[in-house]
Amino acid sequence: MKNHTEILPEDLPEELRNFWEEREQLNAIVFEKANLTIKRFFSLDGQAYRQGVLPAKIKEMLGLVASLVLRCDDCIKYHLIRCHQHGVTDAEIAEAFSVGLVVGGAIVIPHLRRAYRWWTALQTAAR
């Protein structure tokens, strides 16, 4: 898998590729049916992770930590893919996971296990 701005599903490991493709299909449905409020929220979400005073890489890591604490597997997958895109290292991921675990507590552990599986798959696919 290459580091690039545009995510190409064929570059992702199978489980994450399936997630990404379904996400794209569901987003298309949402945008087809959404009202202005929903569209504005999606836009705000995208803008929040763009480069600003904080680099986009750090913002994605913050999103990953929040996703661990909230126990949102779809969100964890998304932010792991984005972190990988931004060149986050194994050591940085481990620190982000540590923060998520400390803030979220033991209930985060099942999500942490899956997150490590997904991260390992991304790293393996990159080789």
- Per-residue pLDDT tens digits for 33-58: 999 999 999 999 999 999 999 999 99
Q: Which of 95, 84, 76 is CA-nearest to residue 23? A: 76
More confidently predicted of 125 and 32: 32
Mean pLDDT of the chain: 93
Cα 22 to Cα 80: distance, rounded to the nearest angstrom: 16
Structure confidence at residue 4 as a pLDDT band (50, 70, 90): very low
**Average pLDDT estimate for 63-92:** 97
Residue 93's contacts (CB-CB under 8 Å, 6 or more residues apart) are: 64, 80, 83, 119
Q: How many CB atoms lie within 10 A of CB 21?
A: 13
Phi, psi of 90 (to 5 degrees): -60, -40
**Average pLDDT estimate for 20-31:** 96
More confidently predicted of 1 and 32: 32
At the fourth CATH level, which superfamily is domain 9-126?
Answer: AhpD-like (1.20.1290.10)
Side-chain-facing half-sphere of 118: CA atoms under 13 Å: 28
